[in-house]
Amino acid sequence: MTFSCTLALILSSLLAQSQKAHQHGAAQINVAMEGGKGELEFESPADGILGFEHAPKTAAQKKSTADVLAKFKTQANTLFEFPAAAGCTLTPKEVEIHREGPQHAEVHAHYAVACKSAPTGQLTLGVFKAYPRLTSIAVTVLSGSQQSATQATPAKATVKLN
Smallest gap, in angstroms, from Cβ of residue 21 to Zn ion?
Answer: 10
The answer to the question of residue 104 lying near Zn ion (CB under 5 A) is yes
Nearer to Zn ion, 41 or 47 (CB): 47
The DSSP element (H or E) to which 55 belongs, if any, is none
Nearer to Zn ion, 50 or 142 (CB): 50
Burial 119-135 (b: 16+ CB within 10 A, else e): beeebbbbbbeebeebe
Stretch that binds Zn ion, among 3-11, 42-50, 81-89, 151-159 (CB under 5 A): 42-50
Nearer to Zn ion, 93 or 104 (CB): 104
Among 39, 41, 43, 53, binds Zn ion (CB under 5 A): 53
**What are the residue ranges of helices labelled H in the chain?**
3-18, 46-50, 59-74, 76-79, 127-130
The answer to the question of residue 106 lying near Zn ion (CB under 5 A) is no
The answer to the question of residue 48 lying near Zn ion (CB under 5 A) is no
Amino acid in the structure at residue 138: A
CB atoms < 10 A from the CB of 160, how many? 13
Amino acid in the structure at residue 154: P
Among 45, 88, 111, 123, binds Zn ion (CB under 5 A): 45
